[in-house]
């Protein structure tokens, strides 16, 4: 969600002539504006200053409703929830031309701002029993020889080239409707 907040902040900064901020968090605005900052400014950037930045924009509803709402949700730990639909079903759904528009339509009635800012599509590569030799697990056979787990007859069928896991996260209020749009 912090990434969504920062992405939305970049959109706001790009569309506004000036964004009112304290000097303490100005380096974030400079970076988001693709400007160079000096070493002293860089050293100020830490988790505390990030929380100050988020808190600052949680009170800037007039500047941007979406940005303020995302910030409030982060500060109150009202984080997005996972949509309980199987990864393969989500992946199949997302390949439809109108998939994102349908998702945004189901979210927008719950989102006080831009629906696009209230959906996270998390795609991860997963590989069971990987190829990196330094990460192998071994079994010792009856002859006291070490056999890589991926080469053992019992586990060989679990070895796969890899799969993509796709998960969706959104507002807790929209989870059921998003799941219904995708279909279980």
Three-class SS string for 112-151?
Answer: CCCHHHHEEEEEEEECCCCCCHHHCCEEECCCCCEEEHHH
Handedness of CA 43, 47, 48, 51 (dihedral sign): positive
pTM for the model: 0.76
Domains of the chain by residue range:
2-75, 81-126+162-182
Q: Could you read off the pLDDT of 125-172 as tens digits, one per residue?
A: 766 666 667 777 888 888 888 888 777 777 766 666 667 889 999 999
CA distance 22 to 30: 12
Q: Could you report the per-residue pLDDT of 99-120, keeping only the tens digit for each?
A: 999 999 999 999 998 999 999 9
d(CA 66, CA 82): 20
């Amino acid at each position: 969600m912090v990434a969504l907040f920062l992405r939305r902040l970049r959109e706001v900064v790009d569309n506004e002539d000036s964004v009112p901020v304290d000097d303490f968090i100005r380096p974030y605005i400079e970076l988001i504006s693709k400007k160079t900052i000096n070493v002293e400014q860089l050293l100020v950037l830490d988790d505390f200053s990030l929380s100050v930045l988020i808190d600052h924009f949680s009170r800037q509803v007039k500047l941007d409703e979406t940005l303020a709402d995302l910030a409030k949700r982060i500060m109150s730990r009202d984080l997005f929830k996972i949509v309980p639909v199987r990864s393969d079903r989500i992946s199949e759904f997302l390949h439809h031309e109108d998939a994102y528009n349908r998702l945004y339509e189901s979210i927008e009635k719950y989102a006080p701002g831009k629906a696009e800012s209230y959906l996270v599509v998390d795609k991860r590569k997963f590989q069971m029993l990987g190829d990196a030799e330094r990460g192998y697990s071994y079994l010792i056979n009856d002859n006291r020889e070490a056999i890589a787990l991926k080469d053992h007859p019992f586990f060989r069928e679990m070895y796969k080239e890899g799969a993509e896991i796709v998960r969706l996260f959104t507002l807790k209020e929209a989870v059921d409707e998003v799941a219904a749009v995708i279909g279980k």
